Amino acid sequence: MRGMRLFLILSFFLRLYGFSAPENSYTYHAEGKGGAVAAEDPAAVAAGMEILKNGGNAADAAVSVMLTASVVDYGMFAIGAEVPFIIFDKKSGKVKTLSGLGSAPLDKESMLFYYDKGIPGGGGIKAAPVPGAVHLFFTALIKYGTMTFAEVSRPVLRILDAGGQDWYDELAKTLRKLIDRESTTAGSREEKLKAACDRFYAGDIARQLVDYYKEKGGYLRLRDLKEHRTLIEDPVSINYRGYTVLKCGPWTQGPYLCQTLQILEGFKIHQMGHLSADYIHVLTESLKLGLADRDFYYGDPRFVDVPLSGLLSKDYAKIRRPLVDMKVASMEVRPGDPIEMKPLVDEPAKYRPGPGGTTTCVVADRWGNFVAATPSGNPPYNICEPLGIAHGNRLRSLNTAPGHPNRIEPGKRPRITLTPTLVLKDGFPIMGISVAGGDLQDQTTLNCLLNVIEFGMEPKEAVTANRFSTRHHENSFNPDRFRRIDGLGRLTVNKGIDKNVIKELVTRGHKVSISGGAIANPVMIYFDREKNEFLAAGDPKANRHAAVLEPNSD
- In a shared domain, residues 108 and 222: yes
- In a shared domain, residues 72 and 132: yes
- In a shared domain, residues 222 and 90: yes
- In a shared domain, residues 389 and 329: no
Alpha helices in 124-203 (DSSP H): 133-144, 149-162, 168-184, 189-202
State how far the alpha carbon of 520 is from the alpha carbons of 38, 41, 297, 535, in Å: 15, 16, 25, 20
Q: Does 40 fall in a domain?
A: no
Question: 484-485 and 352-353: which strand pairing?
Answer: parallel
Task: Look at the chain and count its residues.
Answer: 554
Closest C-alpha among 371, 368, 372, 373 to residue 428: 368
Q: Does 446 fall in a domain?
A: yes
Rounded (10°) angle between helices 42-53 and 58-72:
150
- SS3 (DSSP) at 421: strand
For the chain, the 3-state helix, strand and coil shares in percent, each to the nearest 5, are: 40, 20, 40
Q: Does 274 fall in a domain?
A: yes
End-to-end CA distance of the chain: 33
pLDDT tens digits along 364-423: 999 999 999 999 988 888 899 999 999 989 999 999 988 899 999 999 999 999 999 999
- What is the C-alpha to C-alpha distance for residues 306 and 293, in angstroms, rounded to an integer? 10
Closest C-alpha among 404, 292, 283 to residue 344: 292
Contact call for residues 263 and 113 (beta carbons, < 8 A): no
- SS3 (DSSP) at 335: coil
pLDDT at 379: 82
pLDDT at 482: 56
Query: In this predicted structure, which of 19-33, 56-70, 335-349 has the lowest mean pLDDT?
Result: 19-33
- What is the C-alpha to C-alpha distance for residues 148 and 429, in angstroms, rounded to an integer? 26
- In a shared domain, residues 343 and 440: yes
| Mean pLDDT taken over the chain | 91
Which value, to the nearest 10 degrees, does the dihedral of the CA atoms of residues 226, 154, 98, 167 take? 50
- In a shared domain, residues 457 and 401: no
pLDDT tens digits along 311-361: 999 999 999 999 999 999 999 999 999 999 999 998 655 433 333 568 999
Query: In this predicted structure, which of 207-211, 427-431, 547-551 has the lowest mean pLDDT?
Result: 547-551
Q: Does 5 fall in a domain?
A: no
For residue 531, pLDDT over 50 is answered with yes
Query: In this predicted structure, which of 184-193, 279-288, 345-354 has the lowest mean pLDDT?
Result: 345-354
- In a shared domain, residues 250 and 345: yes
Q: What are phi and psi of 347, to 5 degrees?
A: -120, 90
- Could you say which of 413, 433, 455 is where a domain stops? 413
Q: Does 22 fall in a domain?
A: no
pLDDT at 445: 97
- In a shared domain, residues 216 and 299: no
Number of domains in the chain: 2
Q: What single DSSP character describes residue 337?
A: B
Q: Does 448 fall in a domain?
A: yes
- In a shared domain, residues 138 and 212: yes
Q: Does 204 fall in a domain?
A: yes
Contact call for residues 550 and 33 (beta carbons, < 8 A): yes
- In a shared domain, residues 318 and 398: no
State how far the alpha carbon of 335 is from the alpha carbons of 76, 311, 475, in Å: 32, 10, 16
Give pTM, 2 decimals. Answer: 0.92
Q: Amino acid identity of 15? A: R
- In a shared domain, residues 292 and 315: yes
- In a shared domain, residues 181 and 69: yes
Cis bond upstream, residue 405 (ω within 30): no
Contact call for residues 221 and 105 (beta carbons, < 8 A): yes
pLDDT tens digits along 193-247: 999 999 999 999 999 999 999 999 999 999 999 999 999 999 999 999 999 999 9
- Model confidence at 485, pLDDT cuts 50, 70, 90, reads confident
Handedness of CA 60, 131, 386, 78 (dihedral sign): positive
Q: Does 327 fall in a domain?
A: yes
- SS3 (DSSP) at 426: coil
The DSSP annotation for 349-417 comes to ---EE----B--EEEEETTS-EEEE--B--SSPEEETTTTEEE--GGGGSB--TT-TTB--TTPPP-BS
Q: What are phi and psi of 42, to 5 degrees?
A: -55, -35
Please enumerate, as own/partner, the contacts of 165-170 that have beta carbons within 8 Å and a separation of 24 or more.
Answer: 165/74, 166/385, 167/383, 167/385, 167/388, 167/390, 168/71, 168/388, 169/388, 170/385, 170/386, 170/387, 170/388
For residue 18, pLDDT over 90 is answered with no
pLDDT tens digits along 115-143: 999 998 777 899 999 999 999 999 999 99
Domain residue limits at 382: 45-227+357-413
For residue 21, pLDDT over 90 is answered with no
State the average pLDDT over residues 432-461: 96
| β-bridge mates for residue 89, sequence order | 94
- What is the C-alpha to C-alpha distance for residues 191 and 126, in angstroms, rounded to an integer? 33
Closest C-alpha among 298, 505, 325 to residue 399: 298
Query: Where residue 270 sits, what CATH number does that domain have?
Result: 1.10.246.130
Closest C-alpha among 16, 52, 18 to residue 34: 52
